[in-house]
């Protein structure tokens, strides 16, 4: 059965002291309260990766991820961070194609396909984000946008490599806005995504693909969202900065 994951995307928040303190609280709460097969992933800024990975290393349930990586192995790319550097400090995941990267840093599907390749080749598991803007939804082209993001960003992968990818559906209009897609709206898109995966890789791989929902998830709306047939967890922004809220979201999968 596919993995359930609750992942926190801290974005560009938390200086070092605040980050270590938040993560220590998360570890303690998760250790005491989270019961089940779900995995908890925390994706802090690059500079925290090493310390948080060390703190997380005692806790099988908690993994660490980065929020981005460069598409080259190494070289003269001042200010950038490579997949192998991320792996070398103990991270397991890397978020790729977040809408903020697409919007503010001009990341295209073509570039993201390269980042996905290097992440997988290096041994990181990509959390690959897809999703439409409000304008695209209003123009009823959201399914076309998502189909293209998948086709150009990840569907070049072999089945063996695609099996390492976690997908995250993030409707841009529901990110940081307090607006959530209704459970029905989210489920509709998740089912569409799984169908696309099935068309490319077959039903067994599609059934095993974890598809996260991201967009103003909180402890109140998570139970209904996560009870949808094709929603396998969440990619949490704002609520991941509060240990209580983040843990409560992770507990939705408690058994």
Catalytic residues: 98, 170
Of 53, 71, 149, 216, the one binding ligand 13P by CB under 6 A: 216
Q: Does 171 bind ligand 13P (CB under 6 A)?
A: no
Residues 6+ apart with CB under 8 A from 88: none
Q: Does 105 bind ligand 13P (CB under 6 A)?
A: no
Q: Does 126 bind ligand 13P (CB under 6 A)?
A: no
Residues 6+ apart with CB under 8 A from 190: 169, 211, 213, 228, 230, 231
To ligand 13P, the closest distance from the beta carbon of 168 in angstroms equals 7
Q: What is the distance between the alpha carbons of residues 76 and 19, in angstroms, rounded to a whole number?
A: 30
Helix (H, G, I), strand (E, B) or coil at 5: strand
Q: What is the distance between the alpha carbons of residues 31 and 194, in angstroms, rounded to a whole number?
A: 32
Q: What is the distance between the alpha carbons of residues 163 and 125, in angstroms, rounded to a whole number?
A: 9
Element spanning 8, H or E: strand 5-9
Total Cβ atoms within 10 A of residue 199: 13
Q: Does 214 bind ligand 13P (CB under 6 A)?
A: yes
Q: Which residue's CB atom is positioned nearest to ligand 13P?
A: 237
Binding piece for ligand 13P, criterion CB under 6 A, among 17-25, 168-176, 183-191, 203-211? 168-176
Q: Does 44 bind ligand 13P (CB under 6 A)?
A: no
Binding piece for ligand 13P, criterion CB under 6 A, among 20-28, 117-125, 220-228, 235-243? 235-243
Of 4, 6, 9, 197, the one binding ligand 13P by CB under 6 A: 9
The binding site for ligand 13P (CB under 6 A) comprises 9, 98, 170, 175-176, 214-217, 235-239
């Amino acid at each position: 059965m596919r993995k359930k994951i609750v992942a926190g995307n801290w974005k560009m928040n938390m200086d070092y002291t605040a980050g270590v303190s938040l993560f220590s609280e998360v570890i303690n709460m998760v250790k005491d309260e989270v019961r089940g097969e779900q995995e908890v992933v925390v994706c802090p800024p690059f500079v925290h990766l090493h310390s948080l990975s060390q703190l997380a290393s005692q806790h099988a349930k908690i993994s660490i991820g980065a929020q981005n990586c460069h598409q080259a192995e190494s070289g003269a790319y001042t200010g950038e961070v490579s997949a192998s550097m991320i792996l070398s400090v103990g991270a397991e995941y890397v978020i790729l194609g977040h809408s903020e990267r697409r919007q503010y840093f001009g990341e295209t599907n073509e570039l993201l396909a390269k980042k996905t390749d290097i992440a997988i080749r290096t041994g990181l598991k990509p959390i690959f984000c897809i999703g439409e803007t409000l304008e695209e939804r209003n123009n009823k082209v959201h399914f076309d946008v998502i189909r293209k993001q998948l086709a150009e960003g990840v569907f070049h992968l072999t089945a063996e490599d695609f099996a390492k990818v976690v997908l995250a559906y993030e409707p841009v209009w529901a990110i940081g806005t307090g607006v959530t897609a209704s459970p029905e709206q989210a489920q509709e898109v998740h089912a569409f995504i799984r169908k696309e995966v099935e068309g490319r890789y077959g039903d067994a791989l599609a059934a095993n693909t974890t598809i996260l929902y991201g967009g103003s998830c909180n402890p109140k709306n998570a139970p209904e969202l996560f009870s949808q047939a094709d929603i396998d967890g969440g990619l949490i922004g704002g609520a991941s900065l509060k240990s209580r809220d983040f843990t409560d979201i992770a507990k939705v999968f408690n058994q």
